[in-house]
Each structure stands twice: as C-alpha cells, then as structure tokens.
Amino acid sequence: MSRFSAITDNPHGNRFNQKTGILLTNLGSPDAPTPSALRRYLREFLSDPRIVEIPRILWMIILHGIILRVRPAKSAKTYASIWTEQGSPLIQITKEQTAKLNEKLQREGLGHAKVVMAMRYGNPSIEHGLETLRAEGITRIIVLPLYPQYSSATTGSTFDAIAKVLSKWRWVPELHFLNGYHDSPEYIDSLAASVKEDLEKHGTPQKLVFSYHGTPKLFLERGDPYYCFCMKTTRLVKEKLGLSDELVETTFQSRFGKAEWLKPYTDATLRAFPSNGIKDVAILSPAFSADCLETLEELEEENRHYFIESGGEHYRYIPALNTRDDHIDAMFSLLKPLL
C-alpha cells in the first residue's frame, strides 16, 4: 500500500466492490417549536435563491428587516401545535423511513448499501449526511430527494446543496441524483392504494381533492415543470382507480407573499365548495412523502376550519404515504437499478 493511501479521501477500494451510500433527503424542520429555532430555520430557508427569486439586496432587506422579526413567533405557535414527544413529525417519520429502507436492503441481499437521512434546511444537514457516508468509506452515492414532483425550489435546491458540499471534497465519489418520480408506477400504486383504502373505509365523498404544495406562477412561466408533474400524478391515480373527472379536483396550497401562485388555491376552493352544494370532501397531498406542518396543521386543521366555517359538513384528510410498506417498496424500486 502506498504510504499516502491513509491520508487521501479516496478509499482505494476495488472499483467493482464498491460501498454504496444512499442519501434520503427532505425539506427539513426547526430544531424546536420556539421563536429562536424558527428564526435560524427561516433564515436558512428563505435565504435560498431557489426559494425567493427577487433581487437579492432587496430581499435581504425585507427578510432581515421585517420577516425574521415577525414571522418566527407566529410560526413557532403553529409548529408547537403538531410537535410530539419525539419532536418534529417530519424528522421522526424520515428516521423511520430510513430504518425501514435499510431493513429492506438487508432482506434483498443488498447490505453493501447504507441509507442515511439528511434535510435541506436544519438538522441533520446535507453536509452531515454526506460526511457520515464519507466516514464509512462510501465510494458511490445515490441521492433520493423525497419530492415526487420535481421543482427547482425543492429538488433543484437539494442538488445545489449537494454540489456545494462536494465542491470542498478533494475526491468526488460516483454520484447518482434521482430528480423525481411523479409517474413511477410503484409510487402511483402506493398513492392509489392509500386513496382506495380510505374510500372503502369512509365512502366516496362529493369531492376528492389532490392538494399540492404551491409555487409562484413565475416559476412555471420560467420553465419549472412542477405544475405539469402534479397534474400527471393526479391523472395517473385517477385512471388507476377509475375515478370520474367530476369527483377529482387538483389544487395548490401554502402560498406565501402577494405574488400570484399556482391555481386553483386549496383554501379558496374549499371555501367555495359549500355554496355549490359540495359539503363532503376528502383531501390528500401527494407532493408530501411524510406528514409535516403543511399537512398536519394546514390541511388537517386550518383548511378544515375554512370548509366547515363556509358550510361544509364532512371533511377528512388522507395521510401522506409516510412509512407504509408499499411506499418503502416504491423507494426501493427507484434505487434498485442503481445498486
């Protein structure tokens, strides 16, 4: 062995006997439901140029002069409403997904691959996840961002963070970056199964709403394919289950600021339903691979209130795919060709 082998980044292993690391990523969460933790989290999140595409100097003045002075306290209250003894639901669910995916790899005889979780914002960070893999002598890395429908603001931003960390490494390992799976047959099967189970248990509502996280309309106009991918996911599930066009509605939630976002808006749609005689709805959010603030607080609580207050009578939320076995199988199907 060369006397320099021990101090280089390259593990000098056999190229055909490589160790594979899988980085399972999601958006992230503050460390605690407190104003100070939210301020740190929002500073990182809202400083990302993929998230806010307005002139940088102007945005930094608005962010630090107004938003980070006001929003953390308000956001802390909403996070506190969903916080559990284990902490952030998103973080806990992603931990469980990671553990189940590692178990699946072992059962399939793919123990040479190891799954580590990381968050685009907050902890555990992208850098921490990559450094964990490097410390274990990983020679190949597969990145699986858990955003089924690609968007520059989510998947694109994750790639930026990966590239930023790897730009500091002397030896860059073989890298595979999976940029979406909105029409993956296994993902569609899992999503359809979750809907079918709900309909069989609770009956068919007057409207089944597919509510996706929104993005500014400007993103679509500049070429982001997210809107089209969302519409395709809805169509594939609808076709899989033989649902009628009249039953299914696609909407977009979680808008921020005064700019126009993708329409129709979820909250406005739910408010308008009762006046049109629609008083029984079921809602799901296929863009989220794990339940989080936007589903547990925004959909289950806030939007339920809008619907009932407007005259609605029956409202139910169909949970994200979370740790369902068929969801883990869907993740595995995306990774298997690369293992």
Predicted confidence at residue 18, as pLDDT, reads 77
In terms of domains, do 137 and 271 share one? no
Predicted confidence at residue 258, as pLDDT, reads 86
In terms of domains, do 258 and 194 share one? yes
Predicted confidence at residue 203, as pLDDT, reads 98
In terms of domains, do 19 and 157 share one? yes
How far, in Å, CA of 222 to CA of 260, rounded?
Answer: 14
How far, in Å, CA of 113 to CA of 339, rounded?
Answer: 8
In terms of domains, do 123 and 151 share one? yes
Q: Helices 226-241 & 185-202, crossing angle to 10 degrees?
A: 60
- In the structure, how many helices (H) and strands (E) does the chain have? 13, 8
Average pLDDT for residues 127-147, to the nearest whole number?
97
Tell whether 294 is in a known binding site.
Answer: yes
Q: CB of 92 within 8 A of CB of 129?
A: no
pTM: 0.94
For residue 2, name the pLDDT band (cuts at 50, 70, 90). very low
For residue 257, name the pLDDT band (cuts at 50, 70, 90). confident
In terms of domains, do 161 and 18 share one? yes
Predicted confidence at residue 256, as pLDDT, reads 86
Token pair of 207 as six digits: 């409207």
In terms of domains, do 205 and 282 share one? yes
Q: Model confidence over 162-203: pLDDT tens digits?
A: 999 999 999 999 999 999 999 999 999 999 999 999 999 999
Average pLDDT for residues 49-72, to the nearest whole number?
95
In terms of domains, do 103 and 151 share one? yes
In terms of domains, do 159 and 56 share one? yes
Residue numbers of the domain that contains 223: 185-317
Average pLDDT for residues 144-165, to the nearest whole number?
98
Average pLDDT for residues 251-279, to the nearest whole number?
96
In terms of domains, do 202 and 224 share one? yes
3-state secondary structure of 142: strand
Residue type, 57: I
DSSP state of 63: I
Average pLDDT for residues 316-339, to the nearest whole number?
98
In terms of domains, do 50 and 163 share one? yes
Listed range (5-14, 58-67, 327-336) with the worst mean pLDDT: 5-14
Tell whether 213 is in a known binding site.
Answer: yes
Predicted confidence at residue 4, as pLDDT, reads 47
In terms of domains, do 64 and 177 share one? yes
Q: CB of 329 within 8 A of CB of 104?
A: yes
Q: CB of 90 within 8 A of CB of 290?
A: yes
Q: What is the mean pLDDT of the chain?
A: 95
In terms of domains, do 273 and 310 share one? yes
CATH number reported for the structural domain that contains residue 27 in this entry: 3.40.50.1400
Average pLDDT for residues 304-323, to the nearest whole number?
98
Average pLDDT for residues 267-294, to the nearest whole number?
98
Question: What DSSP string describes 113-129?
Answer: EEEEEEEEEESSBHHHH
Predicted confidence at residue 34, as pLDDT, reads 98
Number of structural domains (the chain) is 2
Predicted confidence at residue 76, as pLDDT, reads 97
Q: Model confidence over 209-246: pLDDT tens digits?
A: 999 999 999 999 999 999 999 999 999 999 999 999 99
